[in-house]
Amino acid sequence: MKLLTVLYLGLLLCLGASLPLGDVTSADGGAHDATLPDRCDGIEFDAITPDEKGNTIFFKGEHLWKGFHGPAELSNELFKELDDDHNIGHVDAAFRMHNPENHDEHDHVYFFLDDKVFRYYNQTLENGYPKPIQDDFPGVPSHLDAAVECPKGECAANSVLFFKVTHDALTGHDVHVYDIDTKLIKTKTWSHLPVCTSALRWLEHYYCLHGHNFTRFNPVSGEVSGNYPKDARHYFMKCPNFGHGGDYKIPKCSEVKIDAITTDEQGKKYFFAGPIYMRLDSHRDGLHAFPITSAWKEMINGVDAVFSYNDKTYMIKDDQVYIYKSDAHNTLIEGYPRTLKEELGIEGHVDAAFVCPNKDTVHIIQGSMIRDVDLSATPRAVTRDFPLPFSDVDAALCSQEGVDVFKGPSYYHYDNAFTLAVTRIAPVPEKITPAMMGCQE
């Protein structure tokens, strides 16, 4: 497991692209020209946005960084038209459009320079751009400070938040909430926020970046909960002596070995390996790994198996079961952990566990056996068990497409849980792919 820990810590906030630009090693994890800026020195970014592929792009002056690690490069080498007419040397604000009803706009990236807007897709400027901001976003002011997308469900409608300081202020913004469908604007004043020079939506949370710090805020009310500001170098880039810095590499798919995998009732898909977990459904924000304890603080020794049921996440480690509410805070339910015997009526090491959609049975794999436990019964106990055609399983997941059983860098696919239980010959194993786990070929 020590090897796995090293391999998977390499995923911690370092899945962005990097381009070597010279022969000087940067603090940010790559070789580059010594004249280029280093964001690990503590930079106040002009703009931040994800692109259509989930890579997060950071802008400062005439430079940008693509991803959470790697050296700087010139902005106009990737987006060559940005300086053609303006010679401004910076981007005021940027965001990725969330408008699934309009495929001509959805996932396209908008850059704002003075009173002009540029729209790109796949690093290509679209026809008709640049154009005045008012042509695309009537009522939105020029010389913006920051912008960020806000999908319906997180805001009242598919919206864009535009930040603009309208007077000489040390804190606070006028925030222009632009409704994408109606093109109407509501203006709010959030005087409690710092002056945001950039803003970012990342994994359904919203961040105001200011100086080398950030403050997380509610996109509807602007409310700030928690201890802020925090240093962005601990979270949004890989820097030595900050957060998860270090010279780690993304593992190859042939090296992948997971401990557990599950999908909750909100469709959030997680895998666990050693001390880390990753959201697999968050490809629009890029794939990012975090310590398990950052979300489930009691799980200090990793997990053996995880499954989701009735808006709760069941985490099994050794002979203990931890049950968490599947809410924003992953709250441990009072009275837990309890023993496997008390909670599920079983004993012994659990290799994997899964629940199929809209079912009340958890299928528990122990060695070369699969055991069914009715979660709707009280007390819970094994209702039936079956032998498996293999052992040493790492994890298993059930979805509408069937059941996948993971073993090392391979997995076995079954049409459903019943087929898994009664088939005596294992299917041909398939290889884990980069699309599944964010690993390298």
152: domain CATH number is 2.110.10.10
Strands 159-164 and 131-132: unpaired
Tell me, what's the pLDDT at 169?
54
Q: Which of 169, 204, 234 is the last residue of a domain?
A: 234
**What are the DSSP E strand ranges found in 229-334?**
230-231, 260-263, 269-273, 276-279, 289-291, 305-309, 312-317, 320-325
Query: Measured in whole angstroms, how far is the alpha carbon of residue 225 from the centre of its chain?
Result: 20
347 and 341 Cβ atoms separated by less than 8 Å: yes
Is the torsion defined by CA of 50, 51, 54, 56 positive or negative? negative
Both 259 and 210 in one domain: the answer is no
Both 200 and 263 in one domain: the answer is no
Residue with tokens 């059930």: 398
Both 128 and 183 in one domain: the answer is yes
Does 398 fall in a domain?
yes
Burial of 39 (0-12, 13-18, 19+ CB in 10 A): buried
Hey, which residues does 320 pair with through a beta bridge?
317, 339
Both 259 and 207 in one domain: the answer is no
Both 222 and 360 in one domain: the answer is no
Both 98 and 228 in one domain: the answer is yes
Does 26 fall in a domain?
yes
Interatomic CA distance for residues 313 and 306, integer angstroms: 7
Tell me, what's the pLDDT at 319?
97
Tell me if residue 9 falls in helix, strand or coil: helix
Six-digit token string for 140? 């939105």
Six-digit token string for 344? 């599920």
Both 230 and 139 in one domain: the answer is yes
Q: Which of 182, 205, 234 is the last residue of a domain?
A: 234
Six-digit token string for 418? 């019943």
Hey, which residues does 196 pair with through a beta bridge?
none
Per-residue pLDDT in tens (0 to 9) along the chain, 441 residues: 333 333 333 443 333 333 232 333 445 544 445 578 999 999 999 999 999 988 899 999 989 999 888 899 998 888 888 765 555 568 999 999 998 888 889 999 999 999 999 999 998 999 999 999 999 999 999 999 999 999 998 999 999 999 998 665 555 679 999 999 999 999 999 988 999 999 999 888 999 999 999 999 999 999 998 889 999 998 888 888 876 433 445 678 999 899 999 999 888 999 999 998 988 887 777 777 788 988 899 999 999 999 999 999 999 999 999 999 987 778 999 999 999 999 999 999 999 999 999 999 999 999 999 999 999 999 999 999 999 998 999 999 999 999 999 999 999 999 999 999 999 898 999 999 988 887 888
39 and 191 Cβ atoms separated by less than 8 Å: no
Interatomic CA distance for residues 255 and 437, integer angstroms: 11
pTM above 0.85, yes or no: no
Domain span at 268: 253-437
Count the domains in the chain: 2
Both 215 and 299 in one domain: the answer is no
